[in-house]
Amino acid sequence: MKMKNSFILGFALILMIGILSACGDSSNESKGNSDKFPEKAITLIVPWSAGGGTDTGARILQPYLEEELGQTVTVVNKTGGGGWVGWNELANAKPDGYTIGYANSPHIITGYLNPELKRDKDLDDFTALGMHVIDPDTISVREDEDRFTTMEELIEYAKEHPLTATATGEGTDEHLVILNMNKKYGTKFEPVHFDGAAETHTAVLGKHVDVLVGNLGEILSLNADGKINVLGVAAKERSEFLPDVPTLEEQGFEIYQESSRGLLGPKDMDPEVVEKIKTALKKAIENEEHIDKMADLGFGVHYEDGDTYMNVLKEDEQAVKELNDLLGW
C-alpha cells in the first residue's frame, strides 16, 4: 500500500512539474511571439469605400509602413454604419497586432454617442497607435451652378430655399457643418448621407445633390479638373493647398470643422507589439517621400504619437458632447 501511495504521489509530482513547465514554455512562447512580431501579413481596415480620402491616404502610407514592418500590409475596405461596420470588426479583432485600422474623428465618436444607435463600444475599446492626417472641411458646388457662385449667395439662397448637401453619416464632420449653418444662419440645408466621399462626388456631379460638403483633401482633384467651385474652407486659416480660396470666417461665417485620421488597434494589445507598430508608424508617416505624395493630393500630414492621439480623440469626444442639443441627443 505504501509503495502504491508513493507511486501515486510521485506521478502527481511529475504531472505538476510538467504543467508548470508547460506554463513556462507558453509564457516564453508568447514572449517569443512578441519578439518576432510581425511574422505574417497585417490587415489594415479602412471603414470607408475605396477612393475616399481615408482610403487614399491609407494606400499612400501602405508601402512605407510595409517597409518599416517588414511585412505585407493589406488594406481592406469595410463600409457601412457611418464607419462602424469597420470599427466594430476592429474592436472585436484578436489583439495580436495583425489587425489595425483607421479612425476618423468626429465620426467614430458621434457613432457611439448617438443614443439611438445603442452601440456598446467607445474609445476605451481601442488602442491608439498614432495620428496621420488633419483635413479641414470645405463647401463646394458644381462648376456650372448658376443659382449661387459665392458663399454669401449660397447662404442667402438657402435661407429661402431647401437645398440638399452631402454628408457621410449622422454626426460626421460634414453633418456638423450642415447643422451649424442651419442653426447659426437660418439656412435650410438637408443632409443626404453616403458611405464615402467617392459617392458624394458622384451625387453632386450627377446633379442629385446641390452642395458638396467634404474634406479638402478629397475635393482637390475635382477642383483641379474644373468640375467644382470651392466656395470656402471651414478652418481658421487658408489652406496651403487652396491658397486662393477664403475661409468661411473671412466671408463672415463662423464655421470651423475638420476631420482627423489616425490608426487604432483593439484594446489589450501586447505593449511590446504596440511599441513596434508605433515606431514603424512614426517612421512611415514622417518619411519625406510619403509626406510629398500626400501633399500632392492635398493631404496635410500631422503626426502625433499614440498617447497624444488618444488625448485628441478624448477632446473631440468632449466637444461633441457639448453639441448634443444641436444633434438632438
Last residue of a domain, one of 200, 228, 251: 251
Same domain, residue pair 222 and 307: no
Same domain, residue pair 150 and 198: yes
How many distinct helices (H) and strands (E) make up the chain?
A: 12, 10
Residue 234 domain flag: yes
Q: Which domain holds residue 167?
A: 136-251
Identify the CA nearest to 264 among candidates 312, 222, 221: 312
Which ranges of 266-327 does DSSP label H, i.e. alpha helix? 271-285, 288-296, 306-321, 324-327
Same domain, residue pair 161 and 237: yes
Same domain, residue pair 140 and 239: yes
Same domain, residue pair 179 and 318: no
Tell me the Cα Rg of the chain. Answer: 25
Last residue of a domain, one of 251, 280, 295: 251
pTM for the model stands at 0.74
CATH of the domain at 59: 3.40.190.150
Last residue of a domain, one of 251, 284, 308: 251
Q: Are strands 42-46 and 99-105 parallel, antiparallel or unpaired?
A: parallel
As beta bridge partners, residue 104 has 261
Same domain, residue pair 168 and 108: no
Residue 14 domain flag: no
Query: CA-CA distance, 170 to 175, in Å (whole number)?
Result: 6
Residue 16 domain flag: no
For residue 75, give every residue at least 6 positions away whose Cβ sits within 8 Å of its Cβ, in sequence order, or none.
Answer: 44, 46, 55, 58, 59, 62
Same domain, residue pair 63 and 140: no
Tens of pLDDT, residue by residue, the chain (329 residues): 544 455 454 545 545 444 444 444 443 443 447 889 999 999 999 999 898 889 999 999 999 999 999 999 999 999 998 899 999 999 999 999 999 999 999 989 999 999 999 999 999 999 999 999 998 999 999 999 999 999 999 999 999 999 999 998 888 899 999 999 999 999 999 999 998 888 999 999 999 999 999 999 889 999 999 999 999 999 999 998 999 999 999 999 999 998 899 999 999 999 999 999 999 999 999 999 999 999 988 888 999 999 999 999 999 999 889 888 888 88
Same domain, residue pair 265 and 212: no
Written as nine digits, the cell of 133 is: 492626417
**Residue 319 carries which DSSP code?**
H
Residue 59 domain flag: yes
CATH of the domain at 143: 3.40.190.10
Same domain, residue pair 209 and 268: no
Q: How many domains does the chain have?
A: 2
Residue 17 domain flag: no
Residues 235, 236, 238, 240, CA torsion sign: negative
Same domain, residue pair 155 and 242: yes
Alpha carbon 134 to chain centroid distance?
10
Residue 293 domain flag: yes
Same domain, residue pair 194 and 93: no
Asked whether 41 and 72 are in contact (CB, 8 A), the reply is: yes
Query: CA-CA distance, 301 to 305, in Å (whole number)?
Result: 13
Q: What is the pLDDT of residue 114?
A: 92
Written as nine digits, the cell of 266 is: 483593439
Residue 23 domain flag: no
Same domain, residue pair 143 and 128: no
Residue 122 domain flag: yes
Identify the CA nearest to 151 among candidates 189, 196, 198: 189
